[in-house]
Amino acid sequence: MTNWKHIAGGVVALAVLGAGGWAYAKLNTARSAVADDRVALADVKNPEPAAIARGEYVMRTGDCVACHTAGKGPFAGGHEIATPFGTLLSSNITPDRRTGIGAMTEREFFDAMRHGQGSKGFLYPAMPYTAYAKLTDQDMHDLWAYMATVEPVENPVNENGGMRFPFNVRLAMAGWNLLFFDNSGFEETAGQSPQWQRGKYLVDGGTHCSVCHSPRNLLGAEVASRYLQGGNLGFWYAPDLTGNPHAGQGKTPAESLVEYLKTGGKTSLASGPMAEAVEHSFQYLTDADLRAIAVYLKTLPASGVTRPAPLPAESPAMQRGALRYEVNCSACHGVAGEGMGNVAPAFAGNPALQSDDATNPIHLMLVGGRAAATHDKPTGAGMPSFAWKMDDRQIAETLDYIRNTWGNAARPVDPAEVARLRERLGAGKNLPAN
C-alpha cells in the first residue's frame, strides 16, 4: 500500500531543499572570499601604483563619480536619484570611517559592489550591483586600491530616507534579489573574438548599459527579453541600442559610435544623463575599449520597433510645424536638418529622434540642454528652452515636423505628453502672444 504521507513529506523536503539552493545561489557571497577581510579601507597603506592606475580606470568605466558626487565633493554622496518608488540618495563612498566606507574591509566592499549587500543592509539596484556582479576579481582588487587613495569626507547620508513605505525597508530587497538578481560573474561566449568578449564585458559589467537602456517591469527589474531596447530614466529616455535600422543603431557605423562615446558625438550629440556618462566615464576609456563596445553593440539583434508611415507634409499641423522650425530651429540645425557639426546635431536620419518614446526631444524643447564637454570637444553646445515661447500644441507640432521630415518617420506627439512633462519638470507656461 502506497504511503502517501511519506511521499508528500519527501516532496515537501525536496521543495524546501530546492528553494534553499535557489536562495543560496541568489544571495551567496562566497565569491568575495578572494578579498582580504582584515584591513579596513581607511587603514590601507601605500597600494601598488600600477593597481591604483588600473583601479581608477575601473572607476571610470563604472562612472562612479557621477552618481556619488553632490555638494560635498567627489564620492561624498548625496546625489538624488529619482525612482518610481521614491527618491534615493547616493552613499558616501570616501574612506571616512564614520559616514563613508572607511570601516569596510575589502571583502565587505566586494559584497556591496557585486552582491548588493552593504554595511547598512541590502542595497537598491539604483546602485548597479546587478551589472557590477560581472566584474572580475582583478578589477575589484584594483578598484579597492584606488578607493584607498580617495580623500575622506565626513558626510552622513540617509540613502533611503526619501523612499515610500514599504520600499524604504531594505530587507525587502532580499526578496527582490531572489526574484530578479543574476548573482553570477562574467562568462565568455563560445565562438566570439576577444574584442567582442571585451565589449560585452564592458557593456554588461562596468559601463552597466542595460541599467538605463533596458525597460523595467513594475518592480523595477530589467526586462531581460528586451535587453538594450530602450528604457525610461527619470525625465529622460535611454534609446534603443540594438541593430534596429529605424530607432536603434542599425544604420550607425561602428566608428560613429566610438566618436559619440569618446567626444559626445557629431551627428547626434549626447545630452542629459548620457552627456554626464560621456564626460565622467566614456571619454576616459581607451580607443581599443570603445571599439570593443561598438563591435559588441553592432552584433545585437534588432528590436521589434517598426517604421511607421511619415505624417503627411501637406497637413495644416505639419505646415505650422515647418514654419515654426524655420523661425526657431533652422539657424542651428539647418534648413535640411543637416545640423552644424559639433555645435548642433543633425536631425535628418537621426534614429534617436524617431523613437516611439518622444521624452527626450520634448524635454529639450521645454528646458533646453547642454551637450557633453570632453577633452576632444571642450565646448559643450547648449540649447535654449522654448517653454516660454511655445504652448504644448506648438511644441508637439514642431517635433512632429522634425520627426517626420528629411526621411524621418515617427508617431505623432500628443500635446498631453508635453503638458505632463512640462508640469513634472516645472518648466512653466508659455508667455501669451501679443
Tell me whether residue 64 is annotated as binding: yes
Tell me whether residue 209 is annotated as binding: yes
Tell me whether residue 67 is annotated as binding: yes
Tell me whether residue 332 is annotated as binding: yes
Residue 3 CA to its chain's centroid (Å) = 56
Q: Are 27 and 115 in contact (CB under 8 A)?
A: yes
Tell me whether residue 68 is annotated as binding: yes
Please name which of 404, 428, 433 lies closest in space to residue 418, comparing C-alpha atoms. 428
Cβ-based burial of 5 (10 A; exposed 0-12, middle 13-18, buried ≥19): exposed
Give the residue ranges of the annotated binding site for heme c: 64, 67-68, 209, 212-213, 329, 332-333
Give the residue ranges of the annotated binding site: 64, 67-68, 209, 212-213, 329, 332-333
